[in-house]
Amino acid sequence: MSCFQNKLFRFVSLALVGFSITASASPVTTTHQEEMKSNDGLGLRANKNAPVMGTIRGFCVIAPAQGLNSDSPCTNLMLILKDTDGSDVTRDRTSPQGEFSFPVEQGKLYRVASGSRFYESKNPLATAKAGDGIQVILIQK
């Protein structure tokens, strides 16, 4: 056995011994059923006051300019999710196909606005809630 192989063998042996000590140092003491009971059926969501989340998904298109006949998808365009007071909640880009998705709290209403300086929402007062599938239509400013 060469010097390199000997060192590699000792390194791997020590690593395996360290792994077995680490793995046996923290035994699992609760079952899945016990965990579910201790969290009142909430599973791993131990914070009972945490908001229940959902999703607003949709498709963004740019309305055709005069003389054009069809909508085109909002390709990699920034969209802003706003609450009903008009405050920004989060921002995200559309996919190359114009699709988007925002994580939102259940039971609240939101608006989706353009984050581009070149486009604005055709219907800026339309609201959506968790679970809604919407289409955002943008027009050139």
User: If we measure between CA atoms, which residue out of 58, 52, 59 comes closest to residue 104?
Assistant: 52
From first to last of its 141 residues, the chain has per-residue pLDDT tens of 555 455 545 544 544 444 444 444 444 444 444 444 444 444 455 667 778 899 999 999 999 876 667 789 999 999 999 999 999 999 999 999 999 999 999 999 999 999 999 999 998 889 999 999 999 999 998
Reduce the secondary structure of 17-54 to three states and give it as a string: HHHHHHHHHCCCCCCHHHHHHHCCCCCCCCCCCCCCEE
pTM of the entire predicted model: 0.63
Look up residue 85 and give its two tokens. Answer: 């007071």
